[in-house]
Amino acid sequence: MASKDAQNQRSRSLPGFLPGTSDPDHGVHISPSNPGNQVWQWGPPSPGSLPPGLEYLSQLDLIIIHQQVELLGMILGTETSNKYEIKNSLGQRIYFAVEESICFNRTFCSTLRSCTLKITDNSGREVITVNRPLRCNSCWCPCYLQELEIQAPPGTIVGYVAQKWDPFLPKFTIQNSNKEDILKIVGPCATCGCFGDVDFEVKTINEKLTIGKISKYWSGFVNDVFTNADNFGIHVPADLDVTVKATMIGACFLFDFMFFEHSLAGL
């Protein structure tokens, strides 16, 4: 009996169970292969008020977003629809995001283009929709700056990301479904990221306290020059509301479009 209890204890202490899973026996199950190539397999969720699909974000304090390299765009020099893998801190994929936009907008509106990003879980279920209208990106047009709408599940608005006018720094607010400001995001004066990460600090409304950050990771000279594939990390408190985390994922996409879409942006 004692040996059986010890075996159970050892099995529960093994790595491979994800944060936020209260019972490993009914939660996450992973294969023993390379963790970087795994996906997050979720067991039966406990009942609650979380939007369906956002259970994956519970108690995560790091969300990694990796843009997939588009070989066709590299070869032809054209702008293709963006695709992203969204992963946890173990490198396991929890979501996959695909941009839906027309070729005309990508060609002639470039980084200002209107588009929709559909985020699905590993079963193919759409759990988050990000809508980006065609808007301005200039401090000379303070009345028509960038804005995103986040729905989770699709059809239910949970938040917005709104750019705020500032002559020196990129500033944004995270808003709830009623467009009430709940957090601020303040970027650096220069977003070129010369041989280093670019950090957008997540602050309280009065900007006196920093609670997290959205970072664009510098991935090296060769990658940044020859591809426009970007890697981001969203660092937030683990107990932050999942709808706010979903909105911050949308903010990360917006920053990619605004500041890092071109292949030389990472230098």
b/e per residue 214-251 (b: at least 16 CB within 10 A) = bbbbbeeeebbeebbbbbbbbbbeeebbbbbbbbbbbb
Q: pLDDT below 50 — which residues of the chain? A: 1-35, 40-47, 104, 221-228, 263-267
| Residue 167 structural domain | 55-260
The predicted pLDDT at position 24 comes to 32
The predicted pLDDT at position 218 comes to 73
Residue at 213 is within a domain: yes
The CATH number of residue 69's host domain is 3.20.90
Q: How would you write 132-188 as a 3-class SS string?
A: ECCCCCCCCCCCCCCEEEEECCCCCEEEEEEEECCCCCCEEEEECCCCCEEEEEECC
Total tally of structural domains belonging to the chain: 1
DSSP 112: G
Residue at 7 is within a domain: no
| pTM of structure | 0.73
CA torsion 28-32-34-36 (nearest 10°) is 0
The predicted pLDDT at position 124 comes to 94
The predicted pLDDT at position 180 comes to 96
What is the sign of the dihedral through the CA atoms of 188, 192, 194 and 200?
A: positive
The predicted pLDDT at position 158 comes to 96
Rounded (5°) CA angle 50-56-59: 85
The predicted pLDDT at position 166 comes to 81
Long-range pairs, 134-142, Cβ under 8 A, ≥24: 134/105, 134/109, 136/112, 137/111, 137/112, 137/163, 137/258, 139/165, 139/166, 139/167
Residue at 161 is within a domain: yes
> Could you give phi then psi for residue 162, rounded to 5 degrees?
-125, 130
Residue at 266 is within a domain: no
Residue at 248 is within a domain: yes
pLDDT tens sequence across 175-222 = 999 999 999 999 988 766 556 789 999 999 999 999 999 999 876 544
For residue 148, the Cα-to-chain-centroid distance in whole angstroms is 13
